[in-house]
Amino acid sequence: MKTLLISLKIFLVFTVLTGIIYPLFITGIAQVIFPAKANGSLLVRDRQVVGSELIGQQFDSAIYFTSRPSVILYNPLPSGGSNYGLTNIRLKELVTERKHHFYSFNQLDSQTVIPSEMLFASASGLDPHISPQAALLQVNRIAKARHFNDIYKQKLIVCINDLTEDPQFLCLGEVRVNVLLLNLEIDKIQ
């Protein structure tokens, strides 16, 4: 009985310590040092939250850059991929569909090489980034849909270059562009 009481006391102490005190302490530090990141890196425009820098969104309009495909339609609750293996016929069908859609939506020549992130869904389904190459392939479509002349089309390219991020710590990941940030920026082009 004595051992059981000691075990329960230790259990309660560690439950309070690791389940209440530690999370509150870390949350407090994060709120003081990194308040924007601690609150989800939310982007606000005209006093409205338009999204998070960390979670991709679906953009179907011809006037915006399109995001990487998502099997879960960018819903963060069931985050995950399709788990189709390379030999799965459904994966091949999806890639072919996405390739034809990307060619037709962006009015590209069928010989154009499409970056892989526009053909394969991300593992989380929430990836907010595409490669600068994928963004550049969409410039002509957006310029045409927005009735931009060559000067404004060049501004689109400058936006892509300005918002291009290097790999994290110079070695993790790829060179990338956040699609939501890019779309918010091109809305400013007059």
| Number of CB atoms found within 10 A of residue 34's CB | 11
Collect all residues with Cβ–Cβ distance below 8 Å to 143 and sequence separation of at least 6.
152, 153, 156
List of residues 6+ apart from 140 with CB closer than 8 A: 106, 107, 153
DSSP-assigned states of every residue in 106-156: TT--TTSPPPGGGTS--SSS---EE-HHHHHTTHHHHHHHTT--HHHHHHH
List the pLDDT tens digit at each of the 190 positions of the chain.
889 999 999 999 999 999 999 999 999 999 999 998 888 888 888 889 888 898 999 998 999 999 999 988 888 888 888 888 889 999 999 999 999 999 999 999 989 999 999 999 888 888 999 999 999 999 999 999 999 999 999 999 999 999 999 998 989 889 999 999 999 999 988 7
Domain extents for the chain?
Answer: 1-39, 43-186
In angstroms, rounded to a whole number, what is the distance separating the alpha carbons of residues 76 and 60? 19
Distance CA 184, CA 48 (A): 13
Exposure string of 169-179, with b = 16+ CB inside 10 Å and e = fewer, is: eeeeeeebbbb
* Structure tokens, 3: 């051992």
> Which pair of tokens denotes residue 94?
């999806």
The pLDDT value recorded for residue 30 is 93
If one counts every other C-beta atom within 10 angstroms of the C-beta of residue 122, the result is 20
Q: What is the pLDDT of residue 32?
A: 94
